[in-house]
Amino acid sequence: MFPSDRPFKVYCSECWWSDKWDPVSYGRSYDFSKPFLTQFSELINSVPLLNVWAFSNVNSEYANYGAFNKNFYLSYGTVNSEDIFYSFMINESKNCFDCYWVRKSELCFEGHNAIGSYNSKFLVNCRNCVDSWFLFDCANCQDCFMCTGLRSKSFYIRNRQYSREDYLKELDKIGTGSYETLERLKREFDVLIKSSVHKFSITAMTTNSTGDDLTSAKNAKHVFYGDNIENLRYSWWVVNYKDSYDVVGSLDSELMYEVSVGAFHNYMSKFVTHSQGSRYSEYSYLCHTNSNIFGSIGLRNKQYCILNKQYTKEEYESLVPKIIKHMNDMPYVDKKGRVYRYGEFFPPELSPFAYNETIAQEYFPLTKEQAIEQGYRWKDPDTRDYKVTLKSNDLPDHIKDVKDSIVNEIIQCAHNETCNEQCTRAFKVITEELTFYRRMNLPLPRLCPNCRHYQRLKQRNPLKLWHRSCMCDKNSHQHGAEKCPNEFETSYAPDRKEVVYCEQCYNSEIV
C-alpha cells in the first residue's frame, strides 16, 4: 500500500511477521531537546513497515485491510469472508462482488448496506432478502423485483403481487443478462429510491443513538456504519465495540480513544493506528499484542517500550509522565502553524499517505490545490501505459455472447480518466468474475473497479447530521390532521428531495 517514493522501508508480509528482524533493535532513547512527534516521525523512517494491513488470509495477495479471509481480491475492510471481489466493508459473507457494507450474506452483487441476504443483486438498505433484484428498504423478502418498503413478501414486481408462475414468466421477459437492459433498470431503480419514503436514519435494534447505518446499537452518538456497539461517540465503521470515542475503522475492542484502523482485542488505548491486541498503549503504529507501550512502531508481543526501546516496568512508569509533560511544554508545530500537544492524534503531515490515497478523499473530496492549501500531501496519478485490446463499447451486450477469451483482453474503462474517481483507464475480467457473471446472469461491466466503487459511494449519505422535522402530513398517522411534530437528527440534508419520516410515521407507512 506504500508507493515507492516514500522514505521508509517496506517488508512483505512473510518477512515482516518473521523472526528475521527485531523491531526493538531500532529503539532509541527519548530526546528532550526535540518534540516527541518529530522523534516519532524519524522512527517511522527507520522501522520496516508492513506491505499491507492484512493477516490470516488465504490466496488474498491483492487486497488490503482484512483478516481471516479466503480469495479476497481487490477489496478492503473484509473480515471472516470468502470469495470477495471489488468490495468494501464485508463481514462473514461469501461470493460477493461489487458490494459495500454487506454482512452475513452470500451470492450478492451490488449490495449496499445488506445483511443476511442470499442470491440477490442491487439491494440497498435491505435485510434477509433472497433471490431478489433491485430492492430498496426491504426485509424478509424472497423472489421480489424492483420493489421498495416490503416486509415478508414473495413474488412481487414493482410492489405488485404475482403468482409464482407469473412472477417467473415476467422475470424471464426482463432479460437482466443484457447490459443495455440492466442500465435501464438501474435508472429506474434510482428513480424508485428517490421517490420512496425514507426513514430518517437506517437503524435496526438501536436505543438512544444518532447516526446512520446502525445495527444493534445502544448509546451511540454521531456514529456511522456500526454493528453491535454500545456507548460510542463520533465514530465510523465500528463492529463489536463499546465505551469508546473518536474511532475509525475498528472492531472487537473497548475503552479506546482516537483510534484509526484498530483490529481485534484492543483495550484501554489511545492515539493508536493499525493496532491489534494493544493494551494500555499510546501513540503507536503497526503494533500487535503489546501492553504498556508509548510512541512505538511495529512492535510485537512487547511491553514497557518507548520509541521501540525496552525499559523495565519502573523505568517506563517513571518516564512516560515526563514525556507527556514535555509534549505539552514543547509541542509539535506543523508547517501550517498548527500546534499538537499531548492529547491530539498524529498530524496529517506525518501520515505515510497523501490525502487522495486515503478514504478521506472518498467522503470529503478535495482538489489538489485545496489539499495542499490545508497542509496535506497530494499524489499525482501514476503513469499508465496499458495496451488496450478492447474498448468497453465493443463488449457483447449479453453475457451469453461472452467468450472465455475475454479474460485475456485489456478493456478500456468507459470513463477513461474523464472522471474524478481514480480511474485506472483499463481493467481485466478475471476467470472467477466471468464465472460469477454467468451464474448470476449479469452482463460484463464497462467501468474499471475504481469507477464502479465510486458509483456505489454515490448511494451513501454523507457522514454528517442535520436537525430536521418529520415531513409527514397524513391524517391516517398518529398525529392526525396536524403535520407531524417530531424532530430528529438525520444524514439527509434539508435541500434533498427525498421524503424523510420520523420512526413512528415511517412504521405507520411501511411496516
Q: Are the beta carbons of 484 and 505 closer than 8 angstroms?
A: yes
What's residue 119's pLDDT?
Answer: 98
Sign, Cα dihedral of 244, 35, 16, 61: positive
Q: Mean pLDDT, to the nearest integer, of 96-120? A: 97
Q: Are the beta carbons of 243 and 255 closer than 8 angstroms?
A: yes
Residue 122 grid coordinates: 442491487
Supply the mean pLDDT for the chain.
95
pLDDT bucket at 23, cuts 50 / 70 / 90: very high
What's residue 232's pLDDT?
Answer: 98
Residue 322 CB coordination number (10 Å): 11
Tell me the sheet residues that pair with 108.
96, 120
pLDDT bucket at 137, cuts 50 / 70 / 90: very high
What's residue 272's pLDDT?
Answer: 96
Q: Is the pLDDT of residue 199 over 90?
A: yes
pLDDT bucket at 5, cuts 50 / 70 / 90: confident
CA distance 153 to 139: 8
Dihedrals phi, psi of 81, to nearest 5 degrees: -135, 170
Contacts of 142 (CB under 8 A, 6+ apart): 129, 130, 131, 132, 153, 154
pLDDT bucket at 136, cuts 50 / 70 / 90: very high
Contacts of 89 (CB under 8 A, 6+ apart): 77, 78, 100, 101, 102, 225, 237
* DSSP-H helix ranges across 356-459: 360-363, 368-373, 431-440, 449-457
pLDDT bucket at 263, cuts 50 / 70 / 90: confident
Residue 172 grid coordinates: 424471464
Q: Are the beta carbons of 16 and 50 closer than 8 angstroms?
A: yes
What's residue 329's pLDDT?
Answer: 98
CA distance 306 to 293: 6
CA distance 332 to 342: 9
Q: Are the beta carbons of 102 and 115 closer than 8 angstroms?
A: yes
pLDDT bucket at 24, cuts 50 / 70 / 90: very high
Residue 254 grid coordinates: 473497548
Residue 333: in which H helix or E strand, if any? strand 332-333
pLDDT bucket at 262, cuts 50 / 70 / 90: confident
What's residue 149's pLDDT?
Answer: 96
What is the pairing mode between strands 154-157 and 133-136? Answer: unpaired
CA separation, residue 298 to residues 4, 232, 265 (Å) = 19, 28, 17
Residue 326 grid coordinates: 514535555
CA distance 44 to 353: 12
- Cα 240 vs. chain centroid, distance in angstroms? 15
At 215-235, the pLDDT tens digits run 999 999 999 999 999 999 999
At 439-453, the pLDDT tens digits run 999 999 999 999 999
SS3 readout for 250-299: EEEEEEEEEEEEECCCCEEEEEEEEEECCEEEEEEEEEECCEEEECCECC
Cα angle 489, 494, 497 (rounded to 5 degrees) comes to 120
Of 405, 508, 500, whose CA–CA distance to 197 is shortest? 500
Cα angle 473, 478, 479 (rounded to 5 degrees) comes to 50
Q: Mean pLDDT, to the nearest integer, of 81-107? A: 97
Per-residue b or e along 33-53, where b marks 16 or more CB atoms closer than 10 Å to that residue's CB: eebbbebbbebbeebbbbbbb
- Please tell me whether residue 504 adopts helix, strand or coil conformation: helix
pLDDT bucket at 4, cuts 50 / 70 / 90: confident
At 291-325, the pLDDT tens digits run 999 999 999 999 999 999 999 999 999 999 999 99
What's residue 159's pLDDT?
Answer: 97
Residue 468 grid coordinates: 430536521
At 320-371, the pLDDT tens digits run 999 999 999 999 999 999 999 999 999 999 999 999 999 899 989 899 999 9
CA distance 242 to 42: 34
Q: Is the pLDDT of residue 492 over 90?
A: yes
| Structural Rg of the chain based on CA atoms | 25
What's residue 455's pLDDT?
Answer: 94
Q: Mean pLDDT, to the nearest integer, of 370-375? A: 94
CA distance 73 to 13: 16
pLDDT bucket at 67, cuts 50 / 70 / 90: very high
At 266-276, the pLDDT tens digits run 999 999 999 99
What's residue 354's pLDDT?
Answer: 94
At 462-484, the pLDDT tens digits run 999 999 999 998 877 878 778 99
Residue 417 grid coordinates: 480518466
Q: Are the beta carbons of 105 and 116 closer than 8 angstroms?
A: yes
Question: How many alpha carbons fall within 13 Å on the CB side of residue 80?
Answer: 10
50-59, 86-95, 477-486: least confident range: 477-486
Q: Mean pLDDT, to the nearest integer, of 32-37? A: 98
